[in-house]
Structure 1
Amino acid sequence: MTHMVEVTVFASAALVMALVAGVFLAFSDFVMRSLRVATLTTGVEAMQQINRKVYGSVFLVGLLGLAPVSLGLAGYGVMSMSGPAAGWIIVGGLIYFAGTFLVTMLGNVPMNQRLDHMVLSAPETRDYWQVYARDWTRWNHLRTAASAIGSACLLIGLVLYA
């Protein structure tokens, strides 16, 4: 890659990671707290709808699109870069992939799928909602931090590289 293309790719990936972190932060900061204090059916139904609508969103393109990009950046850092900038690029890509993408696929998505199939008036829904809201939010805190830290690492790598 030419220097300008590299800088553009690093900066773009860092920006999208920061945007993903912002969405996750909103959920960790106030969306899930609001849904937890709403009536059971309101909170569950709202989260079911959010989880259904995310599939057609620009957010999902960024979240999932960054998975191969982050691995590609880490690989590029290993194969084609040297010095401190390479380390920051590698770490940023790997943190995003493991802490955001893998946590989403292995933690949050299975919980979303289970919630989606629950009947609002069923007693097991009430019991699961308490577990869901607590555990889903914990996983989301991790995704928030990983996205933000991944973005920061890419920016530090970019500054050192540029």
Structure 2
Amino acid sequence: MNALRTAALATAAASGVMGGVLFGFSSFVMPALRRLPASHAVTTMQALNRTAPRALGLPLVISGPGTAAVAARALTRADVPGEVRTLLVTGAVTAVAAFAITVGYHVPRNNRLDTVDATSDAAAPAWGSFVPGWVSMNHARTALSLVSSGLVIAGAAQLA
């Protein structure tokens, strides 16, 4: 059970890291970018979107698919109590949902923004349509990541 507990805590930590980073974007990065002229905001967001995958790739994969693997392992072990399974599976569902929002919503939007010439007349409308949905969905994946972390920690705490 120690290996399962260790893996659960590692995935919970990754979800917590993701939730913290995403909270930073929602609470101060995006509000700061909104204060900039569209050309500067687009250029900055393009740079962030090129850098973030390298920095956050591992925590993102550990938090989503990694948590799902932990939950799958818990489901196949007879010595894992039902309440722990419930916590780990629910934690995995929320982590995978955050991962899915990232891959299915944020990555395509970020890629579209990357094609915008920040010095063109298209920058302002592109930025104006980018921000509202991006931020709303970022709030969702922030909450999902933090909830996942808490649920998986609660499950891991009950593993002997």
Q: Percent identity?
A: 26
TM-score normalised to the size of structure 2? 0.93
CA RMSD in angstroms comes to: 1.3
State the 4+ residue runs in structure 1 displaced beyond 4 angstroms.
none
- Give distance in 1, aligned partners of 2:12 and 2:62: 13
Asked if residue 85 in structure 1 is aligned to residue 84 in structure 2, the reply is yes
Asked if residue 10 in structure 1 is aligned to residue 17 in structure 2, the reply is no
The count of corresponding residues between Structure 1 and Structure 2 is 158
- Give distance in 1, aligned partners of 2:111 and 2:7: 33
- Could you tell me which runs of 5 or more consecutive residues in structure 2 were left unpaired when the two chains were aligned: none
- Could you tell me which runs of 5 or more consecutive residues in structure 1 were left unpaired when the two chains were aligned: none
Task: Name the residue aligned to 2:153.
Answer: 155
Would the aligned equivalents of 2:95 and 2:148 in 1 still touch at CA under 8 Å? yes
- Give distance in 2, aligned partners of 1:85 and 1:155: 10
C-alpha change, 1:151 and 1:60, in structure 2 (3 Å) is same
- Give distance in 2, aligned partners of 1:55 and 1:83: 36
- Give distance in 2, aligned partners of 1:74 and 1:7: 11
Task: Name the residue aligned to 1:112.
Answer: 110
Q: What is the Cα deviation at residue 13 of structure 1? A: 1.1
Asked if residue 101 in structure 1 is aligned to residue 69 in structure 2, the reply is no
Would the aligned equivalents of 1:74 and 1:94 in 2 still touch at CA under 8 Å? no
TM-score normalised to the size of structure 1? 0.92
- Give distance in 1, aligned partners of 2:74 and 2:3: 14
Amino acid at match of 1:116: D
| Among candidates 25, 35, 41, match of residue 43 of structure 1 | 41
Q: What is the Cα deviation at residue 128 of structure 1? A: 1.7
